[in-house]
Amino acid sequence: MMAAMGDDPIREWILSEGKATQITGIRPVGGGCINRASRYDTDAGSFFVKTNRGIGPSMFEAEALGLSAMYETGSIRVPRPFKFGALPTGGSYIIMEFIEFGASRGDQSVLGRKLAEMHKAGKSAKGFGFDIDNTIGSTPQINTWTSDWIEFYSKHRLGYQLKLARDQYGDSTIYERGQRLAKNIGPLFENVVIEPCLLQGDLWSGNISSDKNGEPVILDPACYCNIASGFKAPIAIGSMSSLQRVSMIDLNGDTNSILLRELGKLTQLRRLNVLNMGIMRQNLECHGVLGLEDLFIMPILRYPCSQSSFSGERVMPKQPGFEKRRDLYMLYHYLNHYNLFGSGYRSSAMSIIDDYLRMLKA
Ligand code: ADP
């Protein structure tokens, strides 16, 4: 029996606005962390579809708005979002352009330049924030438009995470010291031209790919308009990794011993993997599958921290004093990791806070 129209909004969209007359095949796509993904092949090309049985359309709405904001900059390749909505059986879906990924992650220096071009093109007249709240990992990310960057970052980024740590762990120490820092970050922004620009927001290696022509593609955004204080700032904001911190600080130094220290919690096998820089298991790189340690491992392997940020800097130079602010941006992600995955991340967050309090004499 044919499904009545309205029973399957995905099929319905593809066969109307999607301009297909026939769906020739539906195949599952592996590798997602949260949602079920499929490839719909049709006589009008292929579509990439994600569904989630348990969550309403707001998550996909945020993804669609993020993708379309990046798409509209006409800079780096992102899948064009077509449609999101609720499923009649509960849950939600998103339909987007299907991109045939290439084997490699593409040229990292092109990625750096294109990202910088996106940051440059994605200006915001509304200040810092986004039209919709989204999530960083599974933590809500509040994007209320705010004209002042320092206020936005203190309140909606650091402050939100600090409150979460207090509420879920009763950690009043990190809350109080973190709030003291959040109220005193002004001097770190002296002589900086503060201008909002569009950010992918969750840029780690799992969200970077390349198409068949080797052009970099970025996926799965947690977009918001952030400070354009220099190319590396957005990288830091988007990063999920403490190793990236290490890699940016000490690419030329005794990196291995620093890696080992940072990776003290990992198993011997994983340490070897890190040192051999051999692992890139795209399909397993999800919080829930291999555990967070793997997020720590990946960015130093693949994250564009040297070559690509260099080529990005030509498009968008760093602002003065960026090095002083880098850890402040990392702090947001450490706090988020602490909130998502527990106490293993507390000391990294705490030491950044304490270092700044000392430096700022706050
Ligand atoms: P989730 O929302 O569950 O994290 P992802 O967005 O990571 O799902 O997508 C799952 C997998 O589908 C990715 O690992 C990637 O390989 C593939 N994928 C994502 N977007 C597209 C796309 N536009 N076209 C083709 N494949 C895609």
pTM over the 0.90 mark: no
H runs (alpha helix) in the chain:
9-14, 58-72, 108-121, 149-152, 160-169, 172-182, 232-238, 242-249, 255-262, 268-276, 287-290, 293-302, 307-315, 322-341, 346-360
| pLDDT for the residue 163 | 98
Give the DSSP letter string of 73-139: TTSSB-PPEEEEEE-TTSSEEEEEE---B-SS---HHHHHHHHHHHHHH-B-SS-BB-SS-EEETTE
Catalytic status, residue 202: yes
Beta bridge partner(s), residue 209: 217
CA–CA dist 37, 29 (Å, integer): 5
User: What is the 257 CA–ligand 1 centroid distance (Å)?
Assistant: 35
- Residue range 9-97, CATH number: 3.30.200.20
Q: Where are the domains of the chain?
A: 9-97, 108-360
The residue contributing the CA closest to ligand 1 atom 15 is 31
So what CATH class is 108-360? alpha beta
Pocket test for ligand 1, best of 27, 49, 219 (most atoms within 8 A of CB): 219
Indicate the helix (H) or strand (E) that contains 140: strand 139-141
For residue 35, the ligand 1 atom closest to its alpha carbon is 3
CB-ligand 1 contact for 29 (6 Å cutoff): yes
CB-ligand 1 contact for 220 (6 Å cutoff): yes
Q: Which of 211, 210, 208, 234 is nearest to 223 (CA)?
A: 234
Per-residue pLDDT of the chain (362 residues; tens, 9 = 90+): 444 546 899 999 999 999 999 999 999 998 666 789 999 999 999 999 999 998 889 999 999 999 999 999 999 999 999 999 999 999 999 999 999 998 776 677 788 788 888 888 888 888 889 999 988 878 899 999 999 989 999 999 999 999 999 999 999 999 999 999 999 999 999 988 888 888 888 776 667 788 999 888 888 877 766 654 332 222 222 223 333 332 322 222 233 333 334 433 333 323 223 322 222 222 222 222 222 223 233 222 223 333 444 456 567 777 778 778 878 988 988 898 899 878 878 988 999 999 999 999 99
CB-ligand 1 contact for 98 (6 Å cutoff): yes
Instruction: Match 């569009």 to its residue by tokens.
Output: 198
Pocket test for ligand 1, best of 26, 27, 29 (most atoms within 8 A of CB): 29
- For residue 280, what are the CA distances in angstroms to 105, 264, 270, 308, 361? 10, 20, 12, 19, 42
User: What is the 291 CA–ligand 1 centroid distance (Å)?
Assistant: 19
User: What is the 50 CA–ligand 1 centroid distance (Å)?
Assistant: 8
The residue contributing the CA closest to ligand 1 atom 6 is 220
